[in-house]
Chains A and B, each alone.
Chain A
Amino acid sequence: MTAKSGSNRHHLLALGLLASLAACAAPGEITTQRIDPRNDRSPVGMALDNRDFEQAAQALVRSMLESERLPPRPDGQPRVMAISRITNDTTLRINTNELLQTIRRELSNSGRIVTTTAVGLDGPSDPLAMKARQLRQSAEFNQRTVAGHGQMVAPDLSLSGQIIQRTTRVDGGAQRVDYLFQLTLTNIRTGIAVWEGQEVISRIGSGRTVTW
């Protein structure tokens, strides 16, 4: 009888301990959730996230399409843009493609500007277009289906730019971070910038936060 009641007491004690542990853990714990990018209301940090790249791309594409200095080609075909150097001058590790891919897609969908992947600053972003020309020497391929000479379209626009970060201390020990997205479209024939745009995304937050 005594042994049984002792065992029961141990069980109860263990149960109570477990319950109190669970109660301690529950409030501060963050559960993993899916985020719908179209309805993302999650908190922001001092660094850049996907929403910022989309906002910057949205504003820059809009400004580009508004520009009257980017008319279609005389034959009605869209202008052809090549990607030049995009510099990341921030403390963040940024893959600039996050910004560029959105811009390219939006411009392409607009029907005004398309992007060539056959010409790039460090070689073509898709080398297969040029490599596929080697099939001209192969008897295994129907030569009418192989890309012929003079079919590629040269770019007439070049897109370059940079992402800049400026961090400043403000009153009360807070920190302000400005991210500047600057892009330039240059007419390759003339070397003249036909469009320039800047979108600034700013944050103010705790001075103890780091931005990398």
Chain B
Amino acid sequence: MKQAALLGGLALSACAAPPPPPATSADPRVIVTPPVQAALGVSLPSVTTLPDGRLRVVVNLQNPSPADFPLRIQTDWLDATGRPLSTVAARPQFRSVPRSTVTTIDADAPSTRARDFRMTLDIESP
């Protein structure tokens, strides 16, 4: 009897729809590539101005999977005309997003000339 119930439970769980993919940022300034979209939940970016006038962007990433995720983050900082500033802050950064938790990534503008940003989240290829 117990075994039958167990088997029934297993069969039911197999029929159940797979869990929905994690919610993904709808902000066009945060570009999420398909592999990241499939694996991580990406929050809307929170943009604040620091006391010295520079912008700061904060994004939360949720990794519900049981494996760490290798992430490549690139943040372009745009001036008032929409042109990317030449800065080392725009170079790709490697981060490992730990499994089963939420990771906060943030980026500070290199100067007050930066008026907007564009953040690209991609998988770090081996």
Q: Which residues of A contact B (CB under 8 A)?
A: 37-41, 51, 54-55, 57-58, 61-62, 65-66, 102, 105-106, 109-112
Contacts and interface: CB of A to CB of B under 8 A. Distances in A.
Contacts, number: 45
A66 B108 contact: yes
Interface residues of B, number: 17
A44 to B, nearest CB: 9
Contacts of B85: 109
Given A41-B125, A61-B88, A112-B52, 9 more contacts: A38-B74, A51-B92, A55-B94, A57-B88, A62-B108, A65-B108, A106-B89, A109-B87, A111-B111
A111 B110 CA distance: 10
13 contacts: A38-B74, A38-B91, A39-B92, A40-B92, A51-B92, A55-B93, A57-B88, A58-B93, A61-B88, A65-B108, A102-B88, A109-B111, A111-B112
Contact of A55 (B52, B54, B74, B91): B91
Q: Which secondary structure dominates chain A's binding surface?
A: helix
B40 interface: no
Given A62-B108, A65-B108, A106-B110, A51 B52 contact: no
Given A62-B108, A110-B111, A112-B52, A37 B91 contact: yes
B112 A51 contact: no
Nearest to A112: B52
A58 B52 contact: no
Nearest to B84: A38
A111 B92 CA distance: 23
A75 B92 CA distance: 36
A51 B111 CA distance: 22
Contacts of A112: 52
B90 interface: yes
Contact of A54 (B54, B88, B112, B125): B88
Interface core residue of B88, B112, B125 (most chain A CB under 10 Å): B88
Nearest to B109: A110
A156 to B, nearest CB: 18
Nearest to B107: A62
B90 A38 contact: yes
Contacts of B108: 62, 65-66
Contact of B91 (A54, A62, A65, A105): A54
A63 B93 CA distance: 15
Contacts of B87: 106, 109
Contact of A58 (B54, B88, B111, B125): B88
B86 to A, nearest CB: 8
Contact of A38 (B52, B54, B92): B92
Nearest to A50: B91
Contacts of B111: 109-111
A110 B91 contact: no
